[in-house]
Structure 1
Amino acid sequence: MKRLILIRHAKATHESGYADFDRPLKQSGMQDALFMANILKERALIPEIVITSPALRTLTTAQIFAEHLHLPPSDTDEKIYEANERTLINIINNLPNEYDFIALVGHNPGISQILYYLTGQMRDVPTCAVALISFDNDDWRSISNEDGHLAFYDSPKG
């Protein structure tokens, strides 16, 4: 059985002077990431590894989760940045099979699209939302459309 936590990056600045890739988290975004990491910790929903887009806002979000959940530093995959549903399913199908529980930190609209694709459930995915999807599959390569069950969903907005 495989499990995947989808995490949308926390709230980032929209101030001018930053390229989109380099936008940092706002203070409230850092607090939201810590808040959501605490929720995962309290529920014992602790992935084995975190894979993230290398954009500053996703990387910082992933670092907060990894540090708080006592995980190794996050792996980055540049394909997650600006990924659509097709790219994300390709990334998921190529996740390392030795791990059964992985967190993926990314961006919208891709995170919302892949959540719907995997579970058939349409959800509003605000910044720093987390969605735990469980699969009966034993191999990441076999995961496809509506194979997943949305086992847990939460966001800082409640």
Structure 2
Amino acid sequence: MKKLLLIRHAKATHESGYVDFERPLKQAGKEDAVLMASILKGQSIIPQIIVTSPALRTQTTADIFTAQMQLPNAGTDKRIYEANEYTWVKVINGLPNEYDFIAVVGHNPGISQVLYYLTGQYRDLPTCAVALITFDNDTWESISGEDGHLTFFDSPKG
């Protein structure tokens, strides 16, 4: 059985002067990431590793989650930045099989699209939302549409 934790990056600045890739988190976003990591830890929802988009806001979000959960530094996958549903599935299918529980930090709209594709459930993922999907599949490469079951969902907005 595989488990995938989707994490949308925390709230980032929209101030001018930043290219999209380099937008930093707002202070409120950092606080939301600490909150959500604490909630997951309290529910014993702790992945083995985290993979993130290389954008600054996703990397910072991942860094907060890894620190709170005492995990190794997150790996990066450049395909996650601006990924559509198809690319998300390729990323998931390429995850290392030695891990049964992996978190991926990414962006909307792709993260919401892949949640729907994998579970058949539409959820709006506000910033720093988390969605735990469980699969009966034994390998990441075998995962495809509606194989997953949404078993936990939360966001700083409640």
Common fold by TM > 0.5: yes
2:107 maps to 107
What CA distance in whole angstroms lies between the structure 2 residues aligned with 1:146 and 1:84? 17
What CA distance in whole angstroms lies between the structure 2 residues aligned with 1:149 and 1:123? 13
1:122 maps to 122
What SS class does the counterpart of residue 151 from structure 1 fall into? strand
What CA distance in whole angstroms lies between the structure 2 residues aligned with 1:146 and 1:50? 23
1:13 maps to 13
What CA distance in whole angstroms lies between the structure 2 residues aligned with 1:138 and 1:69? 25
What CA distance in whole angstroms lies between the structure 2 residues aligned with 1:79 and 1:112? 16
What CA distance in whole angstroms lies between the structure 2 residues aligned with 1:93 and 1:77? 13
Matches within 5 A, 1:31-110: 31-110=31-110
Superposed CA deviations along residues 103-127 of structure 1, whole A, max 9, x for unmatched, are 0000000000000000000001100
Superposed CA deviations along residues 56-113 of structure 1, whole A, max 9, x for unmatched, are 0000000000010000000000000000000000000000000000000000000000
2:132 maps to 132
1:143 maps to 143
- Gapped regions of structure 1 (runs ≥ 5): none
TM-score normalised by length of structure 1: 1.00
What SS class does the counterpart of residue 104 from structure 2 fall into? strand
Query: How many residues were matched structurally?
Result: 158
Residue type of the partner of 2:25?
L
Residue type of the partner of 1:63?
D
What CA distance in whole angstroms lies between the structure 1 residues aligned with 2:147 and 2:124? 20
Q: Over aligned residue pairs, what C-alpha RMSD do you find?
A: 0.3
TM-score normalised by length of structure 2: 1.00
Percent identity for Structure 1 against Structure 2: 72
